[in-house]
């Protein structure tokens, strides 16, 4: 086994290549990061903004792109009273520089060799690191069965909706299950409530299949789901969580 | 239920400024209750610019207390029996 | 490091400065919640407040007893070391002078202790003479748990980390024992008007 000595995290300047709208409230930032050494699906970066008077604000954003992708992509949810997210979604444009450091976090990561089956549970922008895992899985044509249970407020607010549809259509081992908590389109026959133990019992593999679970989103959702999964008999050591706090940033 | 608490990942950036090893996969033994785990699964309280407090998920004991101001770091590891890199 | 870099068009939150504020502070409209640990939810039947340490006889009040003590309305400015301030906040609470009434002590310092592991230290003379309260209401309403309810220490002339949330008592001591933040680089005394934020200030 080779011992790897990680380098101390350093801030670097990325260049914004493109800002891509995903939903009315979210945008993806496509970045060129000089010297980027790669990342694992599930990791995040810290982004730092500096005003002319030296004032700084810093937030963490999960990496949306697969490790195999050419460019680094972050998907940002715009919070109306946020300090950083409105800047990233409304002001930042191609050509601008963005200070960031990473990749960060070796705990909430998945690569195909980790196996599965893979249970991904996300709420709102909590789907971002899970999407990196799904994208990675697709790029390497992994045969690990995967299920994404994804909670959004409405159909229009489902991030990556089309891409998820396409990936699931092409891969019988990938299932995407949505639940819409605030409003549903006409004729919606899917789940229409917050994720709870009953829903998880229906969607998750039984504990004897020993799935690897990754749960990400607002803290209340993450805590409820993690507790429910353990209550259903899943091994706590195989349930990894990433809480976004009350709102996320 | 505390909406403010996060997972160990949230502190990874800040802890990464002090420790040169991958922090979230490091294993700790709690000085309070003796339980072990990976820091990625510990509870983190990022108290704005005051500091970062990492607590044992079993007993809430402060495993790591870290503050950073005026270019100086202060780290208190008294709540941890040991930290070992994964 | 990216020296001299700044993010085009980033202004940050509008920070309103004001002459009435101590140096380096800005006016905050909200009331930020800063917690170093889980929010306790002690049932009032289990709550008590004690004066212990270098006293002849420790004193203790249950919640019922505490609520029967004479309380005051306080209108004051508060200043957090993370630079936000609020002017004219209103509180209701029992003066620490009332709590210390009749207590004989040679102690010069006090450590406020709380639910969990939070403590803060002060010279005894900084919480006497009408400078400190144990407050149970904010803006006319019972103090919310996330802001320190059912009761917190209120010492508004010092940085607000000294106004310990979820306070459960005062320990009187001859030695000054640095508290939670004071042992992590924050100033032992914490006077906002002299901008005493960190050690050495």
Residue finishing a domain among A66, A86, A104: A104
Instruction: Please indicate, yes or no, if residue A1 is contained in any of the structural domains.
Output: no
pTM for the whole structure: 0.86
Contacts of C7 in chain A (CB under 8 A): 49-51, 87, 96-99
Could you tell me if A125 and A237 lie in one domain? Answer: yes
Q: For the domain that residue A208 is a member of, what is the CATH number?
A: 3.40.50.80
* Number of domains comprising chain B: 1
Q: Which domain holds residue A159?
A: 112-243
Could you tell me if A129 and A229 lie in one domain? Answer: yes
Per-residue pLDDT at B17 exceeds 50: yes
Instruction: Please indicate, yes or no, if residue B11 is contained in any of the structural domains.
Output: yes
Yes or no, beta carbons of B1 and A241 under 8 Å apart: no
Q: Which helix (H) or strand (E) holds A86?
A: helix A85-86
Per-residue pLDDT at A160 exceeds 50: yes
Establish, for the pair of chains A and C, how many residue pairs have beta carbons separated by less than 8 Å.
Answer: 41
Q: What value does the mean pLDDT take over residues A48-67?
A: 93
Instruction: Please indicate, yes or no, if residue A222 is contained in any of the structural domains.
Output: yes
Per-residue pLDDT at A247 exceeds 60: no
Per-residue pLDDT at A17 exceeds 70: yes
- The alpha carbon of residue B2 is apart from the nearest alpha carbon of chain A, in Å, by 8
Residue finishing a domain among A104, A136, A167: A104
Contacts of A57 in chain C (CB under 8 A): 10, 12-13
Could you tell me which residue, C75 or B23, shows the higher pLDDT? C75
Q: What value does the mean pLDDT take over residues B5-27?
A: 84
Look at residue A248 in the predicted model and tell me its pLDDT.
41
Residue finishing a domain among A79, A104, A129: A104
Yes or no, beta carbons of B10 and A9 under 8 Å apart: no
Q: Which helix (H) or strand (E) holds A104?
A: strand A97-104
Per-residue pLDDT at A4 exceeds 90: no
Q: Residue B7 — pLDDT band, cuts 50, 70, 90?
A: confident
Q: Is B5 on the interface with A (CB under 8 A)?
A: yes
Could you tell me if A116 and A87 lie in one domain? Answer: no
Gap between the Cα atoms of A249 and A49, Å rounded: 13
Per-residue pLDDT at A9 exceeds 90: no
Q: Which domain holds residue B63?
A: 6-83
Smallest CA–CA distance from A96 into chain C, residue: C8
**pLDDT tens for residues A201-233?**
999 999 999 999 999 999 899 999 999 999 999
- How far is CA A10 from its chain centroid? 23
Give residue ranges of A with CB < 8 Å to any B CB: 5-9, 44, 46, 60, 101-102, 104-108, 218-220, 223, 240-246
Could you tell me which residue, C80 or B9, shows the higher pLDDT? C80
Tracing tokens 């990675």 back to the chain, one arrives at A136
Q: What value does the mean pLDDT take over residues A23-40?
A: 95
Per-residue pLDDT at B2 exceeds 90: no
- The alpha carbon of residue C99 is apart from the nearest alpha carbon of chain A, in Å, by 37
Query: Among A205, A69, A189, A195, which Cα is nearest to A138's?
Result: A69
Gap between the Cα atoms of C4 and A163, Å rounded: 40
- The alpha carbon of residue A130 is apart from the nearest alpha carbon of chain B, in Å, by 15
Contacts of A87 in chain C (CB under 8 A): 7, 9-10
Question: Poorest-confidence range of A122-136, A158-172, B17-31?
Answer: B17-31
Residues 6+ apart with CB under 8 A from A84: A47, A49, A57, A58, A59, A249
Share of chain A above pLDDT 90, in %: 86
Q: Residue A5 — pLDDT band, cuts 50, 70, 90?
A: very low
Selecting from A46, A106, A246 the residue whose C-beta is nearest the C-beta of B24 gives A106
Look at residue C2 in the predicted model and tell me its pLDDT.
57
Backbone angles phi and psi of A103, in degrees to 5: -75, 155
Question: In this structure, are residues A146 and A117 in contact, taking their beta carbons and an 8 Å threshold?
Answer: yes
Q: Residue A1 — pLDDT band, cuts 50, 70, 90?
A: very low
Q: For every one of its 201 residues, what pLDDT tens digit does chain C have, with 9 covering 90 and above?
A: 456 899 999 988 777 888 899 999 999 989 999 999 999 999 999 999 999 999 999 999 999 999 999 999 999 999 999 999 999 999 999 999 999 999 999 999 999 999 999 999 999 999 999 999 999 999 999 999 999 999 999 999 999 999 999 999 999 999 999 999 999 999 999 999 999 999 999
Query: Among B39, B42, B83, which Cα is nearest to B60's?
Result: B42
Q: Considering only CA atoms, give the Rg of chain C.
A: 18
Per-residue pLDDT at A3 exceeds 50: no
**pLDDT tens for residues C146-186?**
999 999 999 999 999 999 999 999 999 999 999 999 999 99
**pLDDT tens for residues A105-116?**
889 999 999 999
Could you tell me if A137 and A48 lie in one domain? Answer: no
Instruction: Please indicate, yes or no, if residue A2 is contained in any of the structural domains.
Output: no
Gap between the Cα atoms of A133 and A152, Å rounded: 19
Look at residue B29 in the predicted model and tell me its pLDDT.
97
Yes or no, beta carbons of A46 and B13 under 8 Å apart: yes
Contacts of B43 in chain C (CB under 8 A): 38
Query: Among C114, C119, C90, C91, which Cα is nearest to C177's?
Result: C119
């Amino acid at each position: 086994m080779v011992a790897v000595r990680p380098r101390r995290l350093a801030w670097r300047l990325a260049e914004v290549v493109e800002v891509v709208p995903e939903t009315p409230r979210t945008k993806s930032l496509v970045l060129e990061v000089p010297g980027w050494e790669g990342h694992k699906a599930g990791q995040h970066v810290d982004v730092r903004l500096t005003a002319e008077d030296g004032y700084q604000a810093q937030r963490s954003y999960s990496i949306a792109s697969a490790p195999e992708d050419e460019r680094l992509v972050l998907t940002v949810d715009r919070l109306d009273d946020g300090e950083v997210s409105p800047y990233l979604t409304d002001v930042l444009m191609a050509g601008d520089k963005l200070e960031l450091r990473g990749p960060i976090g070796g705990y909430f990561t998945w690569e195909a060799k980790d196996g599965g089956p893979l249970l991904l549970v996300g709420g709102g922008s909590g789907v971002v690191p899970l999407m990196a895992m799904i994208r990675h899985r697709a790029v390497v044509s992994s045969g690990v069965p995967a299920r994404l249970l994804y909670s959004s407020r409405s159909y229009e607010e489902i991030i990556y909706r089309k891409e998820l549809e396409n990936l699931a259509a092409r891969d019988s081992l990938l299932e995407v299950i949505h639940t819409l908590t605030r409003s549903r389109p006409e004729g919606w026959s899917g789940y229409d409530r917050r994720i709870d133990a009953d829903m998880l019992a229906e969607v998750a593999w039984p504990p004897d299949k020993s799935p690897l679970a990754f749960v990400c989103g607002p803290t209340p959702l993450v805590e409820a789901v993690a507790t429910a999964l353990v209550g259903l008999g899943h091994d706590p050591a195989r349930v990894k969580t990433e809480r976004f706090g009350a709102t996320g940033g | 239920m505390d909406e403010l608490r996060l997972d160990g990942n949230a502190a990874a950036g800040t802890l990464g400024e002090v420790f040169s090893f991958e922090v979230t996969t490091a294993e700790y033994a709690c000085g309070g209750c003796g339980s072990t785990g990976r820091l990625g699964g510990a509870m983190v309280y990022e108290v704005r610019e005051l500091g970062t407090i990492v607590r044992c998920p079993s007993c809430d004991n402060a495993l790591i207390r870290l503050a950073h101001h005026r270019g100086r770091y202060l780290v208190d590891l008294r709540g941890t029996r040991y930290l070992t890199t994964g | 490091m990216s020296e001299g870099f700044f993010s085009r068009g980033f202004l940050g939150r509008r920070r309103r400065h004001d002459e009435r504020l101590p140096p380096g502070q800005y006016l905050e409209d909200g009331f930020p919640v800063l917690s170093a640990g889980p929010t306790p939810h002690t049932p009032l039947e289990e709550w008590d407040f004690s004066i212990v340490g270098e006293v002849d006889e420790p004193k203790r009040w249950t919640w019922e007893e505490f609520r029967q003590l004479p309380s005051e309305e306080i209108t004051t400015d508060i200043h957090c070391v993370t630079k936000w301030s609020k002017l004219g906040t209103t509180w209701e609470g029992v003066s620490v002078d009332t709590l210390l009434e009749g207590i004989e002590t040679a102690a010069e310092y006090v450590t406020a202790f709380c639910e969990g592991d939070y403590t803060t230290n002060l010279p005894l003379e900084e919480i006497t003479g009408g400078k400190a309260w144990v407050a149970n209401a904010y803006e006319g309403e019972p103090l919310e748990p996330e802001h320190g309810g059912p009761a917190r220490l209120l010492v508004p002339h010092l940085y607000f980390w000294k106004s310990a949330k979820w306070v459960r008592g005062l320990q009187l001591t001859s030695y000054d024992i640095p508290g939670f933040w004071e042992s992590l680089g924050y100033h032992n005394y914490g006077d906002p008007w002299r901008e005493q934020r960190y050690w050495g200030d």
